[in-house]
């Protein structure tokens, strides 16, 4: 059974940093593009960043470029996102998701990040 | 950035009723993808490549469209279909979602 479990969320002050993790199991992690997607409270979905199977290529939306760094450790089947210079508008539930022909296929349960003083 | 605009934002339907949700793109896209999300749960893939049903999706759902106009249709609304539906495009980065359509049961 495919499982994605996010962790590392919490309350952080504006300008602060946080590192989220997404532990994967039930599939060959190193074969898949993986994404971070976020959802602000009561709002819609927003793609944040993606990483290739090897980790050699990464993509992110403009609003997080230079602040968020996506990475992966295929030996640990774990995805990360290092979030620096956090802003109030980064407050959201963050999901990791696998990529397949279905699009964003399997999703984790999400982890909440709150940026507030 | 390709903007996806869904309409209506909210729709209320009775069991057995036909429901159609529209997704319009600001530029032509090749395919649209749809996701279903219920309160407190993560989204699920629902329709891919515009018209193909993801695994386990009932065949009362269908998808269609091309270019800048796409739709998701439920032939006969059932209680379990109450949820928020999002369209999404892979044609160009940033990958974008529509604002969502909340489908409520009457």
Q: What is the pLDDT of residue A25?
A: 97
Which residues in chain A have Cβ-Cβ distances shorter than 8 Å to B100? Answer: 44-45
Q: What is the pLDDT of residue A77?
A: 98
Please judge whether B42 and A95 are an interchain contact, meaning their C-beta atoms are less than 8 angstroms apart: yes
pLDDT tens digits, one per residue of A34-63: 999 999 999 999 999 999 999 999 999 999
Instruction: Give the HSE-up count for residue A64: Cα atoms under 13 Å, Cβ half-sphere.
Output: 26
Q: What is the pLDDT of residue B30?
A: 96
Chain B nearest-CA residue for A39: B42
Closest CA to B70 of B34, B18, B43: B34
Contact A82, A19 (CB under 8 A): yes
Q: Binning pLDDT at 50, 70 and 90, where does residue B28 land?
A: very high
Q: Which residues lie below 8 Å from residue A109, measured CB to CB, with a gap of 6+?
A: A4, A5, A6, A95, B42
Strands laid side by side in the B4-7 sheet: B4-7, B19-25, B69-74, B61-66
Chain B nearest-CA residue for A111: B42
| Interface mutation vs chain A, best among B43, B98, B100, most A CBs within 10 Å | B43
pLDDT tens digits, one per residue of A67-86: 999 999 999 999 999 999 99
Chain A nearest-CA residue for B101: A44
Q: What is the pLDDT of residue B77?
A: 97
Contact A35, A50 (CB under 8 A): yes
| Cβ of residue A99 closer than 8 Å to a chain B Cβ | no
Mean pLDDT of B7-15: 97
Please judge whether A103 and B90 are an interchain contact, meaning their C-beta atoms are less than 8 angstroms apart: yes
- Between chain A and chain B, how many beta carbons pairs sit less than 8 Å apart? 49
């Amino acid at each position: 059974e495919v499982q994605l479990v996010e962790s590392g969320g919490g309350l952080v002050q504006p300008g602060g940093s946080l590192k989220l993790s997404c532990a994967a199991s039930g599939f060959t992690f190193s074969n898949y593009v993986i994404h971070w997607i976020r959802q602000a409270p009561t709002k819609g979905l927003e793609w944040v960043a993606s990483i290739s199977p090897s980790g050699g290529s990464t993509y992110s939306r403009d609003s997080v470029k230079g602040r968020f760094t996506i990475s992966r450790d295929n030996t640990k089947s774990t995805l990360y996102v290092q979030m620096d210079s956090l802003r109030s508008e980064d407050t959201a539930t963050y999901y990791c998701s696998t990529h397949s022909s279905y699009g964003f296929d399997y999703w984790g349960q999400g982890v909440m990040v709150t940026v507030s003083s | 950035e390709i903007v996806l605009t869904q309409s209506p934002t909210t729709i209320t339907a009775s069991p057995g009723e036909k429901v159609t949700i529209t997704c319009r793109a600001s530029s032509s896209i090749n395919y649209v993808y749809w996701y279903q999300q219920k309160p407190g749960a993560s989204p699920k893939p629902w329709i891919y490549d515009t018209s193909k049903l993801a695994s386990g999706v009932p065949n009362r759902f269908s998808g269609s469209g091309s270019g800048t106009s796409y739709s998701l249709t439920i032939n006969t609304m059932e209680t379990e279909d109450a949820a928020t539906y999002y369209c999404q495009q892979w044609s160009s980065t940033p990958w974008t979602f529509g604002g969502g359509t909340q489908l409520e049961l009457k």
